[in-house]
């Protein structure tokens, strides 16, 4: 059976952007012979008709999917999209990507190749050496850099360059190990919560420098409220990390580190549970990076 990679794209008022991005991604799919590429657009009933544009594409191409719902927040949109992908398409890889052309689709084959090589998390980094971030104002650059530093401190992460990037490729098996209930649903703290969960669970990760361009059309959805929630979420991350027992030896209590067959419940997020309704058994061969994390005792 052909392996699948699903790109999850959250949208809110991105009609023009998504209409131009979907053909760019489909063109790139030709350069990914190892996987059948699917695109799930997670739209929150955008008033500008983004959903209608995507429906039109989906009618013509079965690789394009639309998940419509109420606007709760970026994190909730991601949860919905990932739940849809896991339950309906059962992909090997999930790719997170923005709709506004800030994430270059020509990097998709590289993401997939690195995942094939064994990296369970590939991060498109705006700040790694060789990256370009002219799509960010000085203020946004400062916020993102500071945010990365704070997330690393709060969650005890390795020295990453970009903890809040929205361009990532994640092994679906590692995603299934995450407790989606604990991940922030509002705003951008979802990205840092998810990253922390993945690292705590022993993700084998790599960062690749990306060129982060200015958004093509429309306006940013980042609000001050998101930044406040991001700060509050740092406290939650720190608490979760502190409340966890220290493993007796590095990675010993991480199921993935043990390299044994692992029962993975993907019912963490209710919608996944509703749709999937069962536990799956998978092999875990991912070496642990983290020595300590809330899920270490799981």
> What is the contact surface with ligand GTP in residues (CB under 6 A)?
10-12, 14, 42-44, 71, 73-74, 77, 98-100, 102, 135, 166, 215, 220-222
Pick one of Mg ion, ligand GTP, none as the site partner of residue 205 (Cβ within 5 to 8 A by kind): none
Is position 100 an interface residue for Mg ion (rule: CB under 5 A)?
A: yes
How many other C-beta atoms lie within 10 A of the C-beta of residue 219?
Answer: 8
Per-residue burial over 185-201, b = 16 or more CB atoms within 10 Å of its CB, e = otherwise: bbbbbbbbbbbbbbbbb
The rounded distance, in Å, linking the Cα atoms of 142 and 119 is 29
Q: Which is nearer to Mg ion, 16 or 215 (CB)?
A: 215
Is position 13 an interface residue for Mg ion (rule: CB under 5 A)?
A: no
Pick one of ligand GTP, Mg ion, none as the site partner of residue 77 (Cβ within 5 to 8 A by kind): ligand GTP
Of 31-39, 92-100, 119-127, 285-293, which part binds Mg ion (CB under 5 A)? 92-100
Shortest spacing between CB 162 and ligand GTP, in angstroms: 12
Shortest spacing between CB 150 and ligand GTP, in angstroms: 17
The rounded distance, in Å, linking the Cα atoms of 181 and 9 is 20
Contact 50/15 with Cβ under 8 angstroms?
yes
Which pair of structure tokens corresponds to residue 127?
A: 């700040």
Closest listed residue to residue 123, CA positions, set 192, 65, 222, 220: 192
Shortest spacing between CB 215 and Mg ion, in angstroms: 5
The rounded distance, in Å, linking the Cα atoms of 147 and 255 is 29
The rounded distance, in Å, linking the Cα atoms of 17 and 228 is 28
Q: Which is nearer to ligand GTP, 28 or 100 (CB)?
A: 100
- Sites for Mg ion among residues 175-234 (CB under 5 A): 215
Is position 165 an interface residue for Mg ion (rule: CB under 5 A)?
A: no
CA 156 to chain CA centroid, nearest Å: 19
Pick one of Mg ion, ligand GTP, none as the site partner of residue 190 (Cβ within 5 to 8 A by kind): none
Q: Which is nearer to ligand GTP, 63 or 221 (CB)?
A: 221
Of 23-31, 100-108, 137-145, 190-198, which part binds Mg ion (CB under 5 A)? 100-108
Contact 214/132 with Cβ under 8 angstroms?
no
Q: Which is nearer to ligand GTP, 59 or 134 (CB)?
A: 134
Pick one of ligand GTP, Mg ion, none as the site partner of residue 110 (Cβ within 5 to 8 A by kind): none
Q: Which of 46, 102, 191, 254 binds Mg ion (CB under 5 A)?
A: 102
DSSP state of 274: H
Q: Which is nearer to ligand GTP, 166 or 293 (CB)?
A: 166
Please report, as ranges, the residues that interact with Mg ion according to CB under 5 A: 98, 100, 102, 215
């Amino acid at each position: 059976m052909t392996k699948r990679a699903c790109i999850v794209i959250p949208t809110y008022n991105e009609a023009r952007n998504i209409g131009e991005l979907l053909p760019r991604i489909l063109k790139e799919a030709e350069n990914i012979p190892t996987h059948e590429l699917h695109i799930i657009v997670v739209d929150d009933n955008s008033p500008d008709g983004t959903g209608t544009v995507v429906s039109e594409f989906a009618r013509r191409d079965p690789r394009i999917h639309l998940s419509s719902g109420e606007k709760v927040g970026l994190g909730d949109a991601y949860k919905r999209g990932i739940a849809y992908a896991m339950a309906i398409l059962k992909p090997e890889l999930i790719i997170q990507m923005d709709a506004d052309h800030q994430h270059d689709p020509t990097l998709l084959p590289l993401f997939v190749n690195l995942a094939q090589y064994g990296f369970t998390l590939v991060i498109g980094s705006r700040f790694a050496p060789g990256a370009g971030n002219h799509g960010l104002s000085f203020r946004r650059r400062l916020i993102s850099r500071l945010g990365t530093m704070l997330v690393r401190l709060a969650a005890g992460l390795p020295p990453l360059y970009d903890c809040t990037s929205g361009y990532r490729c994640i092994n679906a098996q590692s995603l299934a190990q995450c407790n989606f209930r604990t991940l922030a649903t509002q705003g951008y703290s979802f990205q840092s919560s998810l990253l922390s969960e993945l690292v705590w669970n022993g993700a084998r990760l790599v960062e690749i420098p990306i060129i982060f361009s200015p958004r093509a059309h429309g306006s940013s959805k980042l609000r001050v409220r998101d930044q406040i929630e991001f700060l509050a979420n740092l406290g939650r991350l720190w608490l979760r990390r502190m409340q966890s027992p220290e493993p007796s030896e590095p990675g010993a209590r991480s199921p993935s580190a043990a390299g044994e067959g692992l029962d993975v419940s993907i019912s963490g997020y209710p919608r996944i549970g509703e749709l999937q309704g069962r536990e799956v058994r998978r092999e875990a061969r991912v070496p642990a990076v983290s020595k300590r994390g809330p899920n270490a005792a799981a």
